[in-house]
Amino acid sequence: MMRIVVLLFLAVLFSGFVVTAILAGTSGEWVWWILVVLTGLLVLLGIRDLLQKKHAILRNFPIVGHARYLFEFIRPEIQQYFIERNTDGRPFNRDTRSLIYARAKGADSHKAFGTELNVNEVGHEYLLHSAAPVAPATTQHRVRVGSSQCTQPYEISLMNISSMSFGSLSANAVLAMNKGAQMGEFVHETGEGGLTKYHLEYGADLFWEIGSGYFGCRTAEGRFNPETFAAKAKHENVKGITIKLSQGAKPGLGGVLPAAKVTEEISAARDVPMGVDCISPASHAEFSTPRELMHFVAKLRELSGGKPVGIKFCVGSRTDVMAICKGMLDTGILVDFITIDGAEGGTGAAPLEYEDHVGAPLTEGLMLVHNTLVGAGLRDEIRLAAAGKVANGSDIIKRLIQGADFTFSARSMMMATGCIQAQQCHTNHCPVGVATQNKRLMRALDVEDKGHRVYNYHRLTGSSGLRV
Give me the amino acid identity at 92: F
Angle between helices 226-233 and 290-303 (to 10 degrees): 50
pLDDT tens-digit series, residues 360-369: 999 999 999 9
**Residues 6 or more apart in contact with residue 131 via CB below 8 angstroms:** none
Confidence class of residue 398 from pLDDT cuts 50, 70 and 90? Answer: very high
CB 290 within 8 Å of CB 284: no
pLDDT tens-digit series, residues 179-219: 999 999 999 999 999 999 999 999 999 999 999 999 999 99
pLDDT tens-digit series, residues 105-148: 998 888 888 888 888 999 888 889 889 988 888 888 999 999 99
The mean of the pLDDT values for the chain is 88
Position 40 pLDDT exceeds 90: no
pLDDT, average across residues 235-264: 86
How far the first Cα of the chain sits from its last, in Å, is: 37
- pLDDT at position 328: 98
- Strands 142-145 and 406-409 come out as unpaired
What pTM does this model have? 0.86
- Strands 206-210 and 238-244 come out as parallel
pLDDT top residue among 32 and 166:
166
Confidence class of residue 342 from pLDDT cuts 50, 70 and 90? Answer: very high
- pLDDT at position 468: 46
C-alpha–C-alpha distance, residues 228 and 420, integer Å:
37
Of 447, 463, 413, nearest to 198 by C-alpha is: 447
Of 460, 415, 398, nearest to 176 by C-alpha is: 415
C-alpha–C-alpha distance, residues 244 and 263, integer Å:
24
| Percentage with pLDDT > 70 across the chain | 91
